[in-house]
Chains A and B, each alone.
Chain A
Amino acid sequence: MSAAASASPMSASHNPPDPQHEDPGTSGRKGRKRAGKRPLRERLRQDRTLLLLCVPGILYFAVFFYLPLAGNSVAFQDYQPYLGFKGSPLVGWDNFKALFEQPEFWTAVWNTLKISAVQLILYFPAPIALALFLNSLISNKTRRLMQTVVYLPHFLSWVVVVGMFQQVFGGAGTVSSYLNDHGVHVGNIMNNPDTFMYLVTSQSVWKDAGWGAIIFLAAMASIDTSLYESAAMDGAGWLRRIWHITLPGIRPVVIMLLILRLGDILSVGFEQILLQRDNVGRGASEVLDTYVYFHGVVDGDWGMSTAAGLMKGVIGFVMIVLANKFAHRLGEQGVYQ
């Protein structure tokens, strides 16, 4: 409560310190300009309320994020639950070697890359196209209604989404039975391993394309409308206006999201795929995440599955860094500087 806790200096620039306004109780703290030079103990004392407020959150990230991050050392151990982190023997790169000899691991890698590629080509442009469409709606009422409609599926759980697809495209599903009855043999779309990657991609589009469009809509809203006006004066039709104004206007955002997507190239909707793994079988649906889950938590092969998970994390990190560098080279802003 006391003014001592009142902490941090205001930005001296627009609010010049006035010693007379200081609370008399502030043990001689004078002008805020000297903020940075205050002795450590005094700074700690002044900021203690703020620091105490940070404690639970920081502690949380330490325990549930950084501790597991360090726990990846299990990848270099022959981990035994009863021996724990400390007791389990170190085995160097053995887990990785064993992993690379497993054909199932390579199936998982291949499936992951395959699904990821399909998603990159078919899912990634969907929110952009949707945003272009929503942006082209002139009536505010209609646009708001459509936004309400297309954002909704984002808030449904994967269990619900897969359940909904089941009732439409499953064996007894309304659409698949209709097609099967009318001479188009599609069978049970939900169980077809050959088309599984398109199925998961269409589920992703249904669930998240609307939500993903928000950020592009925001970018489009910040484009100066006078550009459109002068382009129209010069005789540019709507297609040319999109090509020469809208798309360049949202380019930084597109590149940023593309970089983030590349960082996630080895994550392809874990829950979503896990839920449908029994339907289509492992051959088509085993991806890195499900491989890690089944070999680690289910089969108890802790060391090797952690090695697979660690590899995935490292590759994702490297992909982000490389893609960002590449974007900088092309003169783009990227995700970070």
Chain B
Amino acid sequence: MSTAPISTTLRRETRARTGARKRRGSAERPAWMEQPNPAAQTLKFLVIVAMIVAVGYPFLLAIGTSLSSKAELAANGGYVLFPSHPTLESYRVVMSGGVITRAAIVSVGVTVVGTALSLLCTIALAYGLSRPRTFAGKPLLLIVVGTFLFTPGIIPNYLVVQQLGLIDSYGAMIAPILLNAFNIIVVRSFFQGIPDELHEAARLDGAGELTILCRIVLPLSKAVVAVVGMFYAVTYWNSFFNAMLYINDPDKLPLQVILRSYVLQGDTFNAKALGVSVVPATTSLSMAVLILAVLPIIAVYPFLQKYFVKGVLTGAIKA
């Protein structure tokens, strides 16, 4: 199993790309396929436009609204797509050092620390399980795969976190989602695709498993580590329920919880908590918080996009 699908996809993609470069445009159409029918082409084009609008419109609306002034929002009934006099007032409030800034810092901290820990444990476990015929390798793998079959349930999870004394600690936002069996399987199958000859050669040079992992396996696995790392980072950044469940101290709440209270529960902004004297328009400020919550995702998305199809593919086929 392992990397066979990766190499096939890669090959197919390279072939497609070189083909495109050579012939350009519609020449990608294989010879046996019938000539495009104008009606079908138009329909396809309309579907494409509809999809782009469906995904893009909410983003543009949120950006437009976050840049609008109170008066303009009132005149337009709540939301504005293209503000006539864009103002950065809302973003200034977001950055002013109040509740929102603090929540953003908590989110960044949890995401950075959590992702580092997750990656460390995932790589270690995936490598430990990737070598053939390791002592107890099969039962250990079953322990990981077994997590696909059951879910422990909310209450027992809560009780365990509570018994560990993690309530109201940053650890409660990391520990319960530290590892994901799917990610471990993805990394493991990638490691397994690395030729045995490399291990053998390193071993002859006197390298132990740790040296092999750090010097040979990891440098060859940058792509999969990047993808899995970003999966973890996105999970931490987006996680909302764990914080809602385990965190009561308002100073430790992450951005998603704050976003929920303003955007979905309609909590009013309090000038003092925000650290400003005058609160800008509520919707505008809400949307600024929403954009703040989306921004890191948009920033890493192009990198993620480059790799993740491959990563998901191996994992999906393996699992």
The interface of chain A, by Cβ under 8 A from chain B, is 1-3, 5-11, 14-15, 21, 23, 25, 35-36, 40, 43-44, 46-47, 49-54, 56-58, 60-72, 74, 79, 81, 84-85, 133, 136-142, 146-153, 155-160, 162-168, 172-174, 177, 206, 214-215, 218, 221-222, 225, 228-229, 232-233, 237-238, 267, 270-271, 274-276, 278-279, 289, 292-293, 296-297, 302, 305-306, 309-310, 312-313, 316-317, 320
Is the Cβ of B61 less than 8 Å from the Cβ of A157?
Answer: no
Point out the residues of chain B lying under 8 angstroms from A157, CB to CB.
237-240, 256, 293
Known: A53-B125, A167-B61, A233-B32. A64 touches B153 (CB 8 A): no
**Contact present for B62 and A302 (CB under 8 Å):** no
Q: Are the C-beta atoms of B25 and A50 separated by less than 8 Å? A: no
Indicate the member of B48, B54, B159, B256 with the most A CB atoms within 10 Å: B159
Tell me, rounded to whole Å, the shortest Cβ–Cβ distance linking A116 to chain B: 15
CB distance from A253 to the nearest CB of B (A): 9
Docked CA distance A36–B152 (Å): 35
A321 to B178, CA, bound (A): 28
Task: Known pairs A71-B155, A163-B263; list 16 more (Cβ under 8 Å).
Answer: A10-B196, A46-B135, A53-B209, A58-B125, A61-B143, A63-B164, A64-B178, A84-B163, A157-B239, A159-B238, A172-B283, A206-B55, A215-B316, A221-B12, A279-B264, A305-B155
With A64-B176, A232-B34 known as contacts, the answer to whether A49 contacts B210 (CB < 8 A) is: yes
Name the interface residues of B109-154: CB closer than 8 Å to any CB of A. 120-122, 124-125, 127-129, 131-136, 140, 143-144, 147, 149-154
A-B contact pairs, 11 of them (CB 8 A): A2-B208, A3-B208, A6-B207, A23-B206, A52-B128, A58-B143, A58-B144, A70-B156, A74-B155, A168-B58, A267-B151
Q: Across the interface, do A5 and B208 meet the contact criterion of CB distance under 8 Å? A: yes
User: Could you tell me how many residues of chain B have their Cβ less than 8 Å away from some Cβ of chain A?
Assistant: 114
Judging by beta carbons under 8 Å apart, are B155 and A140 in contact? Answer: no
Given known pairs A6-B203, A56-B125, A61-B179, the reply for A160 and B293 (CB within 8 Å) is yes
The distance from the CB of A207 to the nearest CB of chain B, in whole angstroms, is: 10
7 nearest CB pairs, A to B: A57-B125, A71-B156, A309-B153, A157-B238, A172-B78, A68-B152, A54-B128
- Residues in A with CB closer than 8 Å to B162 are 81
Q: Is B159 within 8 A of A155, CB to CB?
A: no
A296 neighbours in B (Cβ, 8 Å): 154-155, 158
Instruction: Verify A159–B293 contact, CB threshold 8 A.
Output: yes
| Interface hits, B256-271 → A, CB 8 Å | 256, 259-260, 263-265
Q: Are A163 and B131 in contact (CB-based, < 8 A)?
A: no
- Report whether B124 and A232 are in contact in the complex, using a CB–CB cutoff of 8 Å: no
Q: Any chain A CB within 8 A of the CB of B223?
A: no
- Chain A binding surface SS class: helix
Distance between B157 CB and nearest chain A CB, rounded to angstroms:
5
Interchain CB contact (< 8 A) of B26 among A138, A151, A228? A138
Contact with A along B3-46 (1 / 0, CB 8 A): 00100110010001100100001101110111000000000100
Are A174 and B155 in contact (CB-based, < 8 A)? no
Which residues of chain A are near B196, meaning CB under 8 Å? Answer: 10-11, 14-15
The smallest beta-carbon distance between A18 and chain B, in angstroms, is 10
- Whether B122 contacts A49 by the Cβ 8 Å rule is no
Minimum C-beta distance from A35 to chain B (A): 6
With contacts A1-B208, A69-B152, A167-B79 taken as known, whether A159 is within 8 angstroms of B178 at the C-beta atoms is no
Give the distance in Å from the alpha carbon of A69 to the alpha carbon of B151 in the complex. 7
Q: Do A278 and B265 contact each other (CB < 8 Å), given the known contacts A50-B134, A156-B294? A: yes
CB distance from B111 to the nearest CB of A (A): 12
Tell me the bound Cα distance from A182 to B265 in angstroms.
Answer: 28
Which of B79, B207, B312 gathers most chain A CB within 10 Å?
B79
Measured in the bound complex, the distance between the Cα atoms of B204 and A243 in whole Å is 55
Taking a contact as CB atoms under 8 Å apart, the answer to whether B264 and A162 are in contact is yes
User: Do residues B133 and A313 form an inter-chain contact, with CB atoms below 8 A?
Assistant: no
Q: Which residues of B contact A84 (CB under 8 A)?
A: 163
Q: Is the CB of A57 within 8 A of B124?
A: yes
Contact of B51 among A9, A23, A81, A150 (CB under 8 A): A150
Given A6-B203, A11-B196, A297-B158, also A160-B309 (CB < 8 A): no
* Assembly CA distance A57 to B181 (angstroms): 10
Contact B259 A159 (CB under 8 A): yes
